Chains A and B, each alone.
Chain A
Amino acid sequence: MQNNQIFINTVRFFILMLLQVIVLNHINLLGYVNPYAYIIFILLFPFDGNKTLLILLSFLLGLCIDMFSDSGGVHAAACVLIGFLRPILLKFSFGVSYQYNAVKLNKVTFKERLLYIILMVSIHHFMLFSLEVFSLSHISLILKSTLFSGIFSTLLILCILLLFKRKEN
């Protein structure tokens, strides 16, 4: 990674963390629906970047969110999972050659981008709510939360990506 990228990613890490814990954790639409937009960091992490570093940083980001929201390690677990699965999902969404063609998220077609975001968000949210509720008898609550929060997060992530499109170039 170049210096420039390191700087951008560091700033993104902290801004997204603060945005999540100060604003987004307190939206509580319909009582329980919160968007989790901080995973933009994991979504946007350079596609050709170090995978080991991404897993470590995902864990750190999740742990920070957990620290603020007193939730044990649920965010950390969900983040580590999508950090680890990201190369596979990238391959699935953008085709095998994503690494060589220097794909950027705002240059691919809308369909591919949406697929990638939805996959990442749904895996993250499902892991998150499964661990947070932590009981099989509340499986409907887990699925309901995953669905509603997932839709909310996906929309918010798309909006944020659109807003900051030029800066990411």
Chain B
Amino acid sequence: MQQIISFFIKNKNFLLFAVLFLISFILTLESHSYHNSKLVSSTNFFSGKIYKVSSSITDYFDLKEQNKSLLEQNSMLLEFQANSTKPTSQKMLDSTLSRNFSFTDAMVINNVYGKTNNHITIDKGHNDSLEVDMGVITSKGLVGIVNKTSGKYARIQSVLNTRSQINAQLKKSKHFGFLTWNTQNPHVVQLTEIPKLAPIAIGDTIITGGNSSIFPKGILVGSIANYTLENNDSYTVDVKLFNDMTNLSHVYVIKNKNKQEIIQLQSNNDAE
């Protein structure tokens, strides 16, 4: 017994190191699994508060740009309102969408885009009825999906994340694929599994598909910059994002009011 105790005392530094390293390794593994890092995240009170204070200072630097983008959005909405008698297709804030989807505005307080799995922290959480798996966009286009919420803050898994798989399609045909990211460039994401038959041209617009309950159909994503034919007879398309992911400040969180119903229906299908 004494030998065991003296062994522990003798090697206490190594044992402590081994235990702590194991803990961090488990945390890392957990962050690499699908619904990632629930234990350690920036949505807690402490880091949320610090990010909020620092962003409240730095926000002043790009007020001018923010005003400009708000004006642009306003003019787009006015234009939409003035022409609303005509059926305008593929508008982001289409009136047929607004019945099923509600939008909440939020401020980005921390934005990371230099890593392989990037997250964004915003200043609204489940107190503002935000939930996991809600879509997030800006007036220009797609941003990501909420993957963790706390009372006052929420974390978004951005499209610049190797684990993101967002359903998107070509605007001019209905061929759809999945948005992934190859970590090379924060302005370009990849749209995979587009069938060979699809008519593809550089400059074409990519929008979100209606196949998921997260995003309404027709939210702008980006334009085609380049495409290559893969071995399995499908295209991988480089999509240049309309959004500047390196410079985000105001975002909208989309709530799908019929989500529960859709999920229930789909799980019924699976059961049969």
Contact = CB atoms under 8 A, between A and B. Distances in A.
Contacts of B50: 18, 21-22, 68
B114 to A, nearest CB: 4
Contacts of B113: 28
Interface in A7-46: 18, 21-22, 25-26, 28, 31-34
A134 B36 CA distance: 14
A158 B12 CA distance: 33
Interface string B220-243: 000000000000000000000000
A46 to B, nearest CB: 16
A84 B13 contact: yes
A52 B18 CA distance: 12
B14 interface: yes
Contacts of A33: 114
Most buried by B among A28, A62, A63, A69: A69
A137 B88 CA distance: 47
Most buried by B among A28, A55, A68, A131: A68
Interface residues of B, number: 42
A56 interface: yes
B114 A28 contact: yes
A74 B155 contact: no
B54 A72 contact: no
Contact of B186 (A31, A34, A74, A80): A31
A143 to B, nearest CB: 14
Interface stretch (B23-31, B71-79, B255-263): B23-31
A76 B42 contact: no
A71 B14 contact: no
A32 B119 CA distance: 14
Contacts, number: 112
B4 interface: no
A89 to B, nearest CB: 14
B64 to A, nearest CB: 20
Nearest to A72: B31
A91 B20 CA distance: 23
A68 B47 contact: yes
A70 interface: yes
Nearest to A51: B13
B40 interface: yes
Given A132-B115, A132-B116, A133-B116, A63 B40 contact: yes
Nearest to A77: B24
B32 A72 contact: yes
Given A59-B24, A63-B40, A70 B17 contact: no
Contact of A76 (B20, B30, B112): B20
Contacts of B46: 67
A86 B250 CA distance: 44
B164 interface: no
A108 interface: no
A56 B16 contact: yes
B20 A69 contact: no
Given A56-B20, A69-B42, 11 more contacts: A18-B50, A28-B114, A32-B114, A59-B24, A73-B25, A73-B28, A80-B24, A84-B14, A134-B28, A138-B116, A141-B183
5 contacts: A28-B246, A51-B13, A59-B20, A77-B21, A133-B116
Interface of A: 18, 21-22, 25-26, 28, 31-34, 51-52, 55-56, 59, 62-63, 66-74, 76-77, 80-81, 83-84, 131-134, 138, 141
Interface of B: 12-14, 16-17, 20-21, 23-32, 36-37, 40-42, 44, 46-47, 50-51, 54, 110, 112-117, 119, 121, 155, 183, 185-186, 246
